[in-house]
A = this chain, B = another copy of it.
Amino acid sequence: MAGKAAAAVVKVNGSVAEIRGATNPMVTALLTDLYQFTMAYAYWKAGKHQDRAVFDVYFRKNPFGGEYTVFAGLEECIRFVANFKLEEGEISFLRSVMPTCEDGFFDYLREVDCSNVEVFAIPEGSVVFPKVPLMRVEGPVAIVQLLETPFINLVNYASLVTTNAARHRLVAGKSKTLLEFGLRRAQGPDGGMSASKYSYIGGFDATSNVAAGKLFGIPLRGTHSHAFVSSFMSPDEILDRALPSHDGSSTCKDFVSLVQSWLSKLQVMKSGIPNFCAVALALNDLGYKACGIRLDSGDLAYLSFEARNFFHAIEKEFNVADFGKMTVTASNDLNEETLDALNKQGHEIDAFGIGTNLVTCYAQPALGCVFKLVEINNQPRIKLSEDVTKVSIPCKKRIFRLNGREGYALVDIMTGENEPPPMVGERILCRHPFNESKRAYVVPQHVEELLKCYWLGNSKNGSVIVDKPREELPSLKKIRARCMQQLEQMRPDHMRRLNPTPYKVSVSGKLYDFIHFLWLNEAPVGELQ
């Protein structure tokens, strides 16, 4: 499917996203579960494959014991839809896998694309909540089913790691620098690339991953490894000892000796810090400014104070301006808990390098997004379950976020497609979708419709006509800015680490009544204790 895109072309800001769209050959129309193709065959055999179906993508529970999630992965889904096409070699492979299927089915598959599919979604980088559709995908049932697996694959990890990054940002505070150092522990090469991209969206400042820096334009940062230090047997190995001054006006003939002379003045602390300071002071003599140190083991809080005191003492003793402000970076299996513990102890760390726990989402390595049929041929569908959290919310819906007087988000409300939308200053009843007693009137000061149109393939007479405005796909920086701004708009008690308050997700009175009408009519008596 590389190369040939569907007739409707996606407009994208910036070239970065285009490179990505064009070059990840893993993301093909075959990147789906076999059963999507066997079901497509069954739909086709039953003459149902063109039935108009609406599916919602949503999750049931926020990750990491929190009460919020950040939605990400949308751009990659839209690219997938734009490029969705089965190539001849893929058709041949499917034929070999499904040898009893009729030829006509493969002729049908040869022609499928997403020119009859609509994708509505909440903007990427938004704060989102359980049960609320992140995306609403409408189109011929057989085609939309083929999108299920890749859509969930592209959204699950993206949203999970973005949320994880956002949680680290919230606990670290705005003033700290957060560095993603996870490439070596990520789940494969593409896992590493995704981790870098989505950590940045979630609020990290930079990555160590050079390929991600090139592809996505994310700032790059790094330190050095233990092997670098131990590869030198002695300073004698440094053959070229000359270093010109920063302004080029003179050259120090033996920089190593300059460092050693500084070191002799600093031999008071049993650690690498005097070594660093001797180099930094020698550099300072020549007009250069050292960046700082990384602490990678031991008691990070204690060592950061020791280092800071040493830097301050040097600033004072040798009158070197700002030496006390030297950057102290810490790493070594950091996670949300250790950042929180460091904050409680107090520390002098300016930047944190976080790897394994961030990129593998060690605290909870999966987000359970699902893709559920909510309507087919204008008939609502509901999935019932003895477990009420697994009951789906039927119908093609609209979603609104209602904000209160202080600017904070109050509640999300889902309504039927044709209901009048909530209005600023007007009282509206918000009901819990399943619990009769939970209901509240809300007077919103601001109303945002959350689902926006990102893909509208509207085929007429063989050519594609886009007859409604469609949202552009924003740049990575804009998605990151939206995420930061959305996190600020949430009431702090929803965001805190300990016992956060659940954010309210509701349905309109009309939708509530309709859900319960369907429920009573569809559930076999006695099945739902």
Q: Which of A206-214, A338-346, A421-429, A442-450 contacts B (4 or more CB under 8 A)?
A: A206-214
Provide a sorted-by-A list of 11 A–B residue pairs whose CB atoms are within 8 angstroms. Answer: A26-B189, A26-B193, A33-B210, A34-B209, A34-B222, A42-B224, A154-B189, A157-B187, A226-B373, A231-B376, A360-B365
Interface bracket on A: 35 or more
CB–CB B93/A240 < 8 A? no
Q: How far is the CA of A356 from the CA of B152 in the complex (A)?
A: 12
Residue of B nearest to A208 (CB): B33
Interface: A156 (CB within 8 A): yes
CB–CB A37/B368 < 8 A? no
Interface: A15 (CB within 8 A): no
CB–CB B184/A227 < 8 A? no
Closest 10 pairs (CB-CB, A-B): A190-B190, A35-B222, A34-B222, A227-B373, A360-B365, A33-B208, A152-B184, A30-B211, A365-B365, A26-B189
Given A31-B192, A148-B225, A360-B365, 15 more A-B residue pairs with CB atoms under 8 Å apart are: A31-B209, A33-B184, A34-B221, A36-B222, A42-B228, A46-B232, A48-B231, A152-B184, A152-B185, A154-B189, A157-B187, A158-B188, A186-B187, A226-B372, A362-B365
Q: How far is the CA of A297 from the CA of B386 in the complex (A)?
A: 10
Residues 155 to 199 of chain A near chain B (Cβ within 8 Å): 156-158, 181, 183-194
Interface: A383 (CB within 8 A): yes
Closest beta carbon of chain B to A99's beta carbon, Å: 12
Q: Could you mark each residue 29-49 of chain A with 1 if its beta carbon is under 8 Å from any beta carbon of chain B, else 0?
A: 011111111110011011110
Closest beta carbon of chain B to A332's beta carbon, Å: 11
Q: Do A183 and B31 contact each other (CB < 8 Å), given the known contacts A154-B188, A194-B188, A224-B39?
A: yes
Residue of B nearest to A381 (CB): B230
Collect the chain B residues with CB atoms within 8 Å of residue A327's CB: none
Interface: A252 (CB within 8 A): no
Q: How far is the CA of A97 from the CA of B362 in the complex (A)?
A: 31
Closest beta carbon of chain B to A415's beta carbon, Å: 22
